[in-house]
Amino acid sequence: MSASGLPFDDFRELLRNLPGPDSAALSAARARDAELTKPPGALGRLEEIAFWLAAWTGRKPAVTRPLVAIFAGNHGVTKQAITPFPPSVTAQMVENFAAGGAAINQICIAHDLGLKVFDLALDYPTADITEAPALSERDCAATMAFGMEAVAGGTDLLCIGEMGIGNTTIAAAINLALYGGTAEEWVGPGTGSTGPLLERKIAAVEKAVALHRAHLADPLEVLRRLGGRELAAMAGAILAARMQKIPVIIDGYVATAAGAVLRAANPSALDHCLIGHVSAEPGHLKSIEKLGKTPLLALGMRLGEGTGAALAAGIVKAAAACHSGMATFAQAGVSNQA
Ligand SMILES: O=C(O)c1ccc[n+]([C@@H]2O[C@H](COP(=O)([O-])O)[C@@H](O)[C@H]2O)c1
Ligand SMILES: Cc1cc2nc[nH]c2cc1C
């Protein structure tokens, strides 16, 4: 904790002093790209991804230890009867991740990605955001710090995902607080809320944002009042990655909301991040556009658990492989005259 003793102070300081991109590594990548055996720009966005890797790692683009981190949390707002699945499914899915039976396990095998799952006090859901702040400042800051530690084991590409019944309601509330509009614009079906479930979900988001309105100009207050443990941990992990020169791929609607909190605190906070995919949750594309980003994939998925980010990691790995493995015109004896 910082000298003044307020748990958020260290994070405010970090957010004010984020490291920028490495311009020497970026220039070197651009120079090499111009020599590779392809028409200029022919690899399209793969070339931009290689430049992004160079800028945010400070090295020649390479992905050798990609990691998917899933953060799991439970939410008091589920007592408003807003989800088709019960909160017990969060812990059950954590078990399924550990046993290798979830979709994310198969995508990690397909793309050769490491996987770590962090469950965050699943037996102690956050407070119901329609009645109280989700977390105390101390709990929120401690969970952000936990998320920062999660990447300490070393990786050179971090995919951020989550698991938490009720958390699409949380993401919608965060988006409404950060961007305004109406609750209907930000609330979607999540795992399948329709009819009365969806109506109660919209009402819960409206009520929560109205209750906390006086405090929502401060993005970290948005996170602690309307967020949840997995969102706080994802925010911490994204920040830690920035400090440690690790590029990040953000997953779906909920992971994007965690990132949005950081972006609201510092407009450059997500410059080291890609959005892996646009999910089928109706508000996701708009929330991505608010960040000034373009998602890599659009596969109609709405699963969470890092699946969209993990699929995008395969593309990022391929971008690095092309950049580092292709021959130059001179090496291959190919004419570079158009
Ligand atoms: O990532 C997404 O865009 C996404 C869209 C819909 C559902 N989810 C997942 O579904 C869970 C939350 O849905 P819900 O209906 O319980 O709020 C949580 O575990 C998320 O990972 C995730
Ligand atoms: C079964 C199930 C799997 C999930 N994976 C991520 N969120 C989920 C929500 C449910 C309900």
What is the C-alpha to C-alpha distance for residues 169 and 63, in angstroms, rounded to an integer?
Answer: 34
| Model pLDDT, residue 5 | 64
| Model pLDDT, residue 4 | 55
- Give me ligand 1 centre to Cα 303, in Å: 6
Predicted confidence (pLDDT) per residue in 310-321, tens digit = 999 999 999 999
Q: Is the pTM of this model over 0.80?
A: yes
| Model pLDDT, residue 338 | 82
- Give me ligand 2 centre to Cα 223, in Å: 22
User: What are the pocket residues of ligand 2 if the criterion is a CB atom closer than 6 Å to any ligand atom?
Assistant: 85, 89, 93, 163, 191, 303-305
ipTM above 0.90 for this complex: yes
Which residues 6+ apart lie within 8 Å of 247 measured at CB? 52, 53, 56, 57, 156, 157, 158, 241, 272, 273, 274, 316
* Residue ranges in the chain modelled with pLDDT below 70: 1-5
Residue 305, phi-psi category: left (phi > 0), alpha (psi -120 to 50), beta (remainder): left
| Model pLDDT, residue 70 | 98
